[in-house]
Homo-oligomer: A and B are copies of this chain.
Amino acid sequence: MSPAPDDPAVLDLLGLIACGELFAFENLTRDSALSRTLDAKAQLGEIACREFGHFQLVRQRLDDLGADPDELVNGYIPIMNDFHSKTEPRDLLEGLLKVYVGDGIAADFGREVASLVDPETKSFIDEVLSETGQAEFVVPYVQQALSEDPGASGRLALWGRRLMGEALAQAQRVAADRPDLAQLVMGGPGSAGSGLAEFSNMLARLTEHHSDRMVSLGLSP
């Protein structure tokens, strides 16, 4: 049985998604500022503003559910700050790979958790994350940079592993900080998740999809 739309676990989940969208917006704009061509700026800015629109939708939904968006979102800010300060791109290429990898992980995570919540929340999450996973435009930029500087591929492959490693580390911190949300995902009394085994499987699937994306860029996973 899935929890109610305003269950604390669901509110925690929506707060996490809102905070993720907000940071994606801020990071994409920084990448836009670093880009040299107007086309790249326009594409990154377009995605950034779409993420911001999603942030506003989640914020509104939390408000409509009688929750306090400030409190819920702010709770994740230290974790997001920690993730982003540990994965500060040194140049635009690292920034673009982070966009691609981060966007992919967010889309995969969204699909996983959407299956654990009530139909109304599921369709809301599907809507908010509908355009996530569309960072494919990054691929030709990364490929072009790699063809100009083949030596960068080793550094980028390491960078990709570090991004995924930090994401998993912060996910464990979220699970420790938010017992309601952890119970929703991992399972437990009255929860739709099916235990630690299923949680491990989920992390394995996220890691596998990440590896596929690295390979599609011509990088070792």
Contact = CB atoms under 8 A, between A and B. Distances in A.
Interface of A: 22, 25-26, 29-30, 32-33, 37-39, 41-42, 45-46, 48-49, 52-53, 55-56, 59, 69-70, 73-74
A88 to B, nearest CB: 13
Nearest to A32: B26
A52 B33 CA distance: 12
Contacts of A69: 38
Given A25-B29, A29-B25, A49 B53 contact: yes
Given A38-B70, A38-B73, 20 more contacts: A22-B41, A25-B45, A26-B29, A26-B32, A26-B33, A29-B30, A30-B30, A37-B70, A38-B59, A38-B74, A39-B70, A42-B56, A42-B59, A45-B52, A45-B55, A46-B52, A46-B56, A48-B52, A49-B49, A49-B52
A56 B22 CA distance: 21
A41 B49 CA distance: 13
A69 B48 CA distance: 21
23 contacts: A22-B41, A25-B29, A25-B32, A29-B29, A29-B30, A29-B48, A30-B30, A37-B70, A38-B59, A38-B70, A38-B73, A38-B74, A39-B70, A42-B55, A42-B56, A42-B59, A45-B55, A45-B56, A46-B56, A48-B49, A48-B52, A49-B49, A49-B53
A63 B174 CA distance: 47
A52 B48 CA distance: 10
A26 B73 CA distance: 23
A74 B41 CA distance: 11
A22 B29 CA distance: 10
